[in-house]
Amino acid sequence: MTTTAGRSTTTGRTGTAVRPGARRAQNRDTRNALLFISPWIVGFLVFTLWPVLQSAWLSMTDYDVLHAARWVGWDNYVELVQDPKVAMSMGNTLLFTVLEVPAHVAVSLALALLLDRAGRASGFFRTVFFLPKMTPAVAVGALFLLVFNGQDGLVNRALALVGIDGPAWTTDPAWVKPGLVVMSLWTVGASVVIFLAALRAVPRDLLESATLDGAGPWARTRSITLPLISPSIFFVTVVSTIAAFQTFTESYTAFFGASSSAYGNDAALFYSIYLFQQGFEYLHMGFASAMAWVLFLVVLVVTLVQVRVSRRLVHYEGGE
């Protein structure tokens, strides 16, 4: 503590003359800072650190709330590898993520590019695109069942207008995930806002001089705009990937819970849903904890790969 005492003198006091006083001030600052931070410290210890340790331990036990946990070593992890539903739900989640994230980034970027060119009307359209984001995910799940209904849903009615006989989105295993992806694109509003803010920060004179040099709109977008907003593209990609890996509410609302017996659809069984079922419906809490750690590792690895790849693709100003 003594070594850092000098750092606390913020307003140009000379260190040598007031050193004892400064040290006292530093101690008081440290005490006050810790008081202000204390809610987080308590929360971290009780609701993060302890649960993390507990969860790691639980993943090595059989625990069902009613009986004491029983140590089983790595059994849950072995079981997990052998459980076909774990593999299936992970496969579903990976496929959903691979479909959703690129579509999410492409659609929100396209909308933002349009908005950026819309002049005064952009405020209105931005509101329109953002509004669906306010819809509670449960309502989105319910809406999915209605709008994507195979016979009477809006989507298939719209497709019928152009002569396409739409699939049974909510019951045909091959079409459930594409349907959920399309539904999720309805709520890209937040990403649109992020991209629009990034686009507005692109220096105008850069685009203008490119125009004078004869660059067309496409060349300008590709060589100037996209590189300059690449940090935002990276951010949206990472965040939406993490979200896609944990997708739960929309699909759970539409296909699982008390209604699962009738139409519970294996194609919509995402990893988080199976984890929730194992933990809170079958009370296999040890097994569910093991599943949670596997999810953590998968998400961590995917994020690290994205960070690694981004080093080559993302342009940070002042970098090079």
Partner 1 sequence: MSADTLTGGTSSPDTSLPAGAGPVPPRQVRTGATRRPRTGGRRPWARALTVVALTLCAVVFLYPFVWLVSASFKPRSQVFDNALVPRTFTLDNYVAIWQSAPMGLWIANTLLVTVLATAAVTITSAMVAWGFAYYRFPGRNALFGLVLATMMLPGAVTMIPTFMIWNALGQSGTLTPLWAGNLFASAFYVFLLRQFFLGLPRDTFEAAKIDGANDLRLFWSVALPLCRPALVVTALFEAQASWTDLMKPLIYLRDSTTFTIPRGLKAMVDQFGFGGEFHWELIVTASVITTVPMIVLFFVGQRQFVDGIATTGTKG
Segment 69 to 108, residues that bind partner 1, using CB under 8 A: none
Q: Minimum distance from CB of 116 to partner 1 (Å)? A: 9
Q: Which stretch binds partner 1 (CB under 8 A): 73-81, 95-103, 172-180, 232-240?
A: 232-240
Q: Minimum distance from CB of 264 to partner 1 (Å)? A: 9
Regarding 222 and contact with partner 1 (CB under 8 A), the answer is: no
Regarding 318 and contact with partner 1 (CB under 8 A), the answer is: no
Q: Minimum distance from CB of 161 to partner 1 (Å)? A: 10
Q: Minimum distance from CB of 236 to partner 1 (Å)? A: 7
Regarding 181 and contact with partner 1 (CB under 8 A), the answer is: no
Site string (24-63) toward partner 1, x via CB under 8 A: --x--xx-xxxxxx-xx-xxx-xxx-xxx-xx--x-----
Q: Considering only residues 238-267, where is the footprint of partner 1 by CB under 8 A?
A: 238-239, 242, 245-246, 248-249, 252-254, 257-263
Q: Minimum distance from CB of 20 to partner 1 (Å)? A: 18
Q: Rule CB under 8 A: choose which of 78, 91, 222, 280 binds partner 1.
A: 280
Contact 287, 64 (CB under 8 A): no
Contact 23, 2 (CB under 8 A): yes
Q: Considering only residues 120-149, where is the footprint of partner 1 by CB under 8 A?
A: 120-121, 123, 125-132, 134-139, 141-143, 145-147, 149
